[in-house]
Structures are given as structure tokens and as C-alpha cells.
Amino acid sequence: MTEKISQELVDLLERPLYGSLGTVRTDDTVQVNPMWFEYDGDKIRFTHTTKRAKYRNLRRNPAMSLLVIDPENPLRYLEVRGTLEEIVPDLEGAFYVRLGRRYGNPDQQPPPDSPDRVILVMTVTKSTGQ
């Protein structure tokens, strides 16, 4: 939700920057990995597979946090907190292809693991940054 994200920082979600996505493991420690993402002005979407720990983490505990750092000024950042709202099948890898193109590969093809692909949809509940 745009009002939950400072207009001075929203460009960090609109630009094709890598984000660090944090989820909670079964032992209650945090797992953080770099991720491609897309922001539509309301929700944040990620491509992922059903075969990885991050997917299992979110199925168990839907809490998630995304950190994006401005590569031109590392002291400028945005942390977005929220929850997993929806898991959308992406069996053809179309969203993966769209993100690959967003991140600079105009020839991006569906990955071999497309049958296991999903779109993780994050609802934003709070953000901080500077």
C-alpha cells in the first residue's frame, strides 16, 4: 500500500534492484537471500519454487521482510515488512521470464524448474528506511 511506503523511497521498489528477502526458519532463525521482485504500487511479487526452504518457511510462517539498498548511496535503504498473502502457480515460468527481462536479460527463457514455479505475493504492512 503506497501510503505505507515513503514516496521518497518508493523508487527503490520501482527500479530493478535486488532485494534481500528474509523469512523465518523452523528453528526461528532468519533466512535471508537475494531476490528478484516486482512492485505494482500495492503488492510485492517474487518468483520462487515449491522445492526450496524459503517456500517451506513461508508456508509455516507467512512473515516476510524485504530490504532494498540504493546502490548509488548505500546509506539509503528501504525495509518493507509484511506477510505472504497468496501463492500463485506459475507452471510455465512466465513471471520468471518477466522478472528476468526486468533485470536486464531481454532473452530470458523459462527455467528448467518451471513446473515447480510459483509467485509469492507479499502484502505490505509497514516500512522503514532513510
Q: How far apart, in whole angstroms, are the C-alpha atoms of residue 60 and residue 109?
A: 31
pLDDT in tens, 21-47: 999 999 999 999 999 999 999 999 999
- What pLDDT is attached to residue 3? 61
Where are the extended beta strands (E) located within 6-113? Answer: 19-24, 30-35, 38-39, 43-49, 63-69, 77-89
3-state secondary structure 77-123: EEEEEEEEEEEEECCCCHHHHHHHHHCCCCCCCCCCCHHHEEEEEEE
Mean pLDDT computed over 60-65 = 98
Q: Which residue has the cell 524448474?
A: 113
Domains and CATH numbers, the chain: 2-129 (2.30.110.10)
Length reported for the chain? 130
pLDDT in tens, 74-84: 999 999 999 99
pTM: 0.93
